[in-house]
Amino acid sequence: MKVTIKRIAEILKVNPSTVSRALRGKPGVSEELRNKILRTAEELGYYPDTRARSLKEGSTRTIGILIPDMGNPFFANAVAAMERVLFPMGYSFFLCVTEEDNEKERINLQKLLSYNVDGILAAPVDRIKNIKLYKQIQSKGIPLVFFDRRIVDLKVPYAVTDNRDGVYKLMDYLKKMGHESLGIITLHRESYTGMERLNAAIERAKELGMEVRENWIKDGKSTQRGAYEAAKELFKERKLPTALFVCNNVMTLGVMKALKELSISVPDSISLVTFDDSFWNQIFDPPVTCVAQDPMQLGMIAATMLLNSIKYPDQQEQDGVILKTHFIERYSVKNLLITTNGEG
């Protein structure tokens, strides 16, 4: 038998409204009765039913967080940061994991709509499939902030990394080190991030006169396993590029594993640069040169933007925040200019 306000009211032979007022500390109930009510509530182990309360009051004080992958420390840390911002404000969290699957994303978004969350933080799967659902969320006036990825067609506030700029830094560096050919292990291509990084890499590389063959571009599917297989595929090619660009952190693990199995040494046989800097990049042998983005910062900013959207629902200005990456030079890229000189 559940302990409710009604139940307490019955026991104490008072009206439920009085119990409610007593528990919420509202005026209109004598000190004596209030104490008696508080005591029995404590004794019986009463907890207010948020469903009923929020039904009456409107707000649920919950936030939906939608990410593609729990196992990726990038997202795990972003979520951690969001929690740190939002928890002190009294919010709880619905965690939704899409696994890059449109169908799972759809179901989760519909659930969030049904749960009447106060806001949504989402890293959407792709730019097409569930756009209608996101539009619906928007048109219902539910505060929504994209992070890491966005849907460009939608006028929704976002916090993302400047992928293009980050990739340019890497490409320019490779060129500077004398590399003239490039392979790429891509994210799954439907995603915003996937597109951005791939296109930027190809464009910049070509601008710099580097060769990027079609069959040097392999789909890593955003996962460790996918990247592992992609790398294995790549190294079956007769002619190989001198440098390899891996589009995110977890895929780097897969590529590394493949390299180890094939006994291909970095940077002697091939040079390596990556997007993202997880701890393992520093402790690889050799440490991997990369552009870093800070998932905690991203999460914090996204959460703060959401809070703002919740507070000022009509504000349309805050279009988006674009974070710059931080270039970190380590030892995974060979300087071909020096080497060839030495050999010549």
Partner DNA sequence: CCCAGTTACACAAACGTTTGCGCAGTCATG
Partner DNA sequence: CATGACTGCGCAAACGTTTGTGTAACTGGG
Q: Name which position in 15, 17, 55, 322 contacts its own copies (CB under 8 A).
A: 55
- For position 44 contacting DNA by CB under 7 A, the verdict is no
**Spatial distance between the Cα atoms of 325 and 51, rounded to a whole number of angstroms:** 42
Question: Which of the listed partners (DNA, its own copies, none) does 6 bind, with a CB threshold of 5 to 8 Å by partner kind?
Answer: DNA
Burial of 147: CB neighbours in 10 Å, binned 0-12, 13-18, 19+: buried
Q: CB nearer to its own copies: give 110 or 339.
A: 110
Q: Can you tell me which of 7, 40, 93, 102 binds its own copies, judged by CB under 8 A?
A: 93
Can you tell me which of 43, 87, 262, 329 binds its own copies, judged by CB under 8 A? 87
Q: Which long-range contacts (CB under 8 A, 24 or more apart) does 44-49 make?
A: 44/3, 44/7, 44/8, 45/3, 46/3, 46/4, 46/5, 46/8, 47/3, 48/5, 48/23, 49/4
What minimum distance in Å lies between the beta carbon of 231 and DNA? 50
Looking at residues 239 to 268 of the shown chain, list those that interact with its own copies (rule: CB under 8 A). 253, 256
d(C-alpha 115, C-alpha 118), whole Å:
9
Which of its own copies, DNA, none does residue 113 bind (CB under 5 to 8 Å by kind)? its own copies
> With CB under 8 A as the contact rule, which of the stretches 25-33, 50-58, 196-204, 331-339 interacts with its own copies?
50-58
- Is residue 218 a contact partner of residue 235, using CB atoms and an 8 Å limit? no
Using CA atoms, how far apart are residues 293 and 69, in angstroms rounded to an integer? 17
Token digits for 303? 């959460």
Q: Using the rule CB under 7 A, which residue among 49, 207, 268, 319 binds DNA?
A: 49
- Supply φ then ψ for residue 245, to 5 degrees: -110, 120
Give the nearer residue to DNA in terms of CB position, either 23 or 296.
Answer: 23
Give the shortest CB-122-to-its own copies separation in angstroms.
15
Cα–Cα nearest to 248, from 223, 280, 275, 281: 275
Dihedral, CA atoms, 10, 11, 12, 15, nearest 10 degrees? Answer: -10
Could you tell me how many residues make up the chain?
344
Of all residues in the chain, what percent are helix, strand and coil, respectively (each to 5)? Answer: 50, 15, 35
324 touches which of its own copies, DNA, none (CB within 5 to 8 A by kind)?
A: none
Nearest C-alpha neighbor of 223 from the set 192, 255, 182, 251: 251
Q: Which does 337 bind (CB under 5 to 8 A by kind): its own copies, DNA, none?
A: none
- Cα–Cα separations (whole angstroms), residue 74 to 135, 242, 344: 27, 28, 44
Residue 92 binding: pick among its own copies, DNA, none (C-beta 5-8 Å cut-off by kind) = its own copies
47 sits near its own copies (criterion: CB under 8 A): yes
- 45 is an interface residue for its own copies by CB under 8 A: yes
Kindly state the smallest distance separating residue 88's Cβ from its own copies, in Å: 10
| Residues binding DNA (CB under 7 A) | 2, 4-6, 13-18, 20-21, 23-24, 26-34, 46-49, 52-53, 55-57
Site for its own copies, rule CB under 8 A: 45, 47-52, 54-55, 60, 65, 69-71, 73, 76-77, 79-80, 83, 87, 92-97, 104, 110-111, 113-116, 136, 139-140, 253, 256, 279-280, 283-285
